[in-house]
Amino acid sequence: MLEIELCGRLADVGGALAQIAIPENGCSVAELFGLIAQQHPALAHPLVSGRVRACVNETIVTPDARVMAGDEVALFPPVSGG
């Protein structure tokens, strides 16, 4: 199981944490987004928008980055402000 911290509006919709089963050999961030969307349909739209950013082990990563069990993962929606 991989524990994922949901931040901002994602947490408003899906709660602060999501637990997702990932393959033993890990998966890409893009694949992870798909797994999350399957298990948490309310998060599907934001995740497929292409605007959510993933942070793995305290580094912002691209959709093709690999995620492994035990990694620290946080998802951030787009933010705006002035």
pLDDT tens across 3-27, in order? 999 999 999 988 999 999 999 999 9
Q: Which tens digit of pLDDT belongs to each residue from 16-63? A: 999 999 999 999 999 999 999 999 999 999 998 889 999 999 999 999
Residue 82 has pLDDT above 60, yes or no: no
pLDDT of residue 11: 94
Q: Which pLDDT belongs to residue 80?
A: 60
Q: What is the pLDDT of residue 78?
A: 83
* Locus of tokens 């919709």: 13
Domain ranges of the chain: 2-76
DSSP output for 29-45? HHHHHHHHHHH-GGGHH
pTM: 0.91
Pick the CATH number of 2-76 from 3.30.70.270, 3.30.70.330, 3.90.1150.10, 3.10.20.30: 3.10.20.30
